[in-house]
Amino acid sequence: MASTALKGPGETPKLDGSGLRIAIVHARWNATVISALVSGTKKALLAAGVQERNIVVQSVPGSYELPYAVQRVYAASTVQSSTAGGVSATDLLASMSSTDLSSTTQDKTDMSRSPFDAVIAIGVLIKGETMHFEYIADAVSHGLMKLQLDSGIPVIFGLLTVLNEEQAKARAGIENSSGKSHNHGEDWGNAAVELGVKRRAWA
Ligand code: DLZ
């Protein structure tokens, strides 16, 4: 029976993610919340059958860096690893260390095996006293949308834009004062699987 919930993506279709390669690119600002979101995302990917070795995790300092990093991580996955006498983009990415905020295994696999089927961009923007929040939220939203339309690769919007830490926790499955919490990372993992599978069908 279809879900009657007002909010959320409704009933998640049961899709087989076992043939997919997915990248998670996350910011490190607001680390506790990011860590929970990355864990929730990985949990959903694994539950859908995506293999651990086909989940690549990379990090950047803040959300502003997400569009550029998503673009480079995806581009590197489409390039063959061998370059004559030089360091390829894939070698470079494979050698980059990604801060292990989530205690998840950081991927050390060959980035060039096949292009990613979807990339999940995760960041947490918490509004401060200045206009920083608005500028970064606007730039990142537009950057990620442009990227997915220009490249044809689904880019999942895992950017929380919240007014305070309590709101961020409530969306990351972390206990907060209201007691209600849902990990949006799980929705993002499911969205990546659905779009990754559908992208192949729509190709
Ligand atoms: C500078 C900044 C501020 C004030 N707040 C956040 C935030 O809440 N979340 C986030 O992901 N990043 C923040 N940043 C950092 C910027 O995204 C970016 O990393 C720096 O401006 C360097 O380009």
Which value does ipTM take for this structure? Answer: 0.99
Q: Where are the alpha helices (DSSP H) in 79-203?
A: 89-95, 132-151, 165-170, 184-202
- Walk along the chain (203 residues) and give the pLDDT tens digit of each residue: 445 566 788 887 889 999 999 999 999 999 999 999 999 999 999 999 999 999 999 999 999 999 999 999 999 998 844 444 444 555 555 554 444 444 343 444 444 467 999 999 999 999 998 999 999 999 999 999 999 999 999 999 999 999 999 999 999 999 878 788 899 999 999 999 999 999 999 98
The half-sphere exposure of 11 on its side-chain side, counting CA atoms within 13 A, is 6
- CATH level 2 (architecture), domain 22-202: 3-Layer(aba) Sandwich (3.40)
Tell me how far the alpha carbon of residue 190 lies from the centroid of ligand 1, in angstroms: 27
Looking at ligand 1, which residue's alpha carbon is closest to its atom 12?
62
CA pair distance 179, 17, nearest whole angstrom = 32
Looking at ligand 1, which residue's alpha carbon is closest to its atom 9?
125
26 in active site = no
